[in-house]
Amino acid sequence: MRKTPGAGSTSGRRGRIRMLVGAACGTVLLAAATMTVTDAHAHADTTLSRPVITTNQTGTHDGYFYAFWQDTGDAALTLGPHGHYSARWSGVNNWFGGKGWATGGRRTFDYCGTFHPGGDSYLALLGFTREPYIEYYILENWGSYRPTGTRMGAVVSADGTYDIYRVQRIGTPGSTPYHQYFSVRQQKRSGGTINTGEHFDAWARVGMDLGSTMGYMIMATEGYQSSGWSDITVESAATRPPRCTTGPPSTP
């Protein structure tokens, strides 16, 4: 999760999923992620009246997994019913948040909503794998920066064409280098259908294999040195119309 692409890059977004999941012990461990989800679940289940998340955590809320991470600045993730959330961020350095699933994988789902980036921001399906550690994005909309890297081809999915990029990251000093995979939609949108299996298959065809163990996968709003707001609904049953809601009336 960094702005600057290319092999060996250490600036900008730096592996925030890894930092969030591994915060308790400094490494990415499945046990740590599971414990965090369990602890947050007890709190979330008693506060289904739109809890506001402002501290780094993962958990479950009304049947969906959620994640929130920031380093500096002001960001808030409001958890709505089912797969709905809204987010506002201002003056952040790095942040992301959203709803989805505790375990990623091949899934077809709908999403819809409103995305107002004030600078460098993403609206993307965001996930990771272990063995090896890979971060991946299916990027649907963005603000002032469209990520690039080593272009590996393209994939047609959900009535759109996505450019495929691979980016190598060094990470923090002493950590093992890892890759980020991107499918970047050529035409921006803030609602539609995503078929993750089509992207996974397209990545595999060009040698971009994912790890053997899936971590969580969320429809995320992300900001880097920017401000903005979003209002997003994730619908896990593709046969049912998404439960969209009206977003805030104006940009902060």
Tens-place pLDDT, residues 96-121: 999 999 999 999 999 999 999 999 99
- The answer to the question of residue 210 being in a domain is yes
Domain interval for residue 196: 16-235
| CB distance 97 to 221 below 8 Å | yes
- The answer to the question of residue 178 being in a domain is yes
| CA–CA separation, 142 and 154 (whole Å) | 18
pLDDT at 176: 85
Span 45-52, average pLDDT: 67
131, 140, 198, 222: the active-site residue: 222
- The answer to the question of residue 225 being in a domain is yes
pLDDT at 25: 33
| CA–CA separation, 134 and 180 (whole Å) | 6
pLDDT at 1: 46
Total domains in the chain come to 1
- The answer to the question of residue 219 being in a domain is yes
135, 140, 198, 235: the active-site residue: 135
Instruction: Quote the Cα angle for 232-233-236, to 5°.
Output: 145
- The answer to the question of residue 192 being in a domain is yes
Radius of gyration of the chain (CA): 17
pLDDT at 39: 35
Q: Is 198 among the catalytic positions?
A: no
pLDDT at 109: 93
**Range of weakest confidence among 68-72, 80-84, 193-197, 233-237:** 233-237
- Which CATH number does the domain housing residue 76 bear? 2.60.120.180
Percent of residues in the chain assigned helix, strand, coil, to nearest 5? 10, 45, 40
pLDDT at 34: 30
**Range of weakest confidence among 17-26, 89-98, 134-143, 189-198:** 17-26
- The answer to the question of residue 98 being in a domain is yes
Average pLDDT along the chain: 82
More confident position, 248 or 87: 87
- The answer to the question of residue 247 being in a domain is no
- The answer on pLDDT for 19 being more than 70 is no
pLDDT at 18: 56
- The answer to the question of residue 46 being in a domain is yes
| CB distance 166 to 135 below 8 Å | no
- The pLDDT tens digits of the residues spanning 133-183 come to 999 999 999 999 999 999 999 999 988 999 999 999 987 666 789 999 999
Predicted structure pTM score: 0.81
DSSP 8-state symbol, 186:
S
pLDDT at 71: 95
Spacing of C-alpha 16 from chain mean position: 10
- The single residue listed with the structure tokens 């007890």 is 42
Q: Is 131 among the catalytic positions?
A: no
- The answer on pLDDT for 14 being more than 60 is no
| CA–CA separation, 92 and 75 (whole Å) | 7
pLDDT at 175: 77
| CA–CA separation, 131 and 127 (whole Å) | 14
User: Which residues does 232 contact at the CB level (< 8 Å), separation at least 6?
Assistant: 84, 85, 86, 87, 98, 99, 111, 112, 113, 114, 115, 123, 190, 219, 221
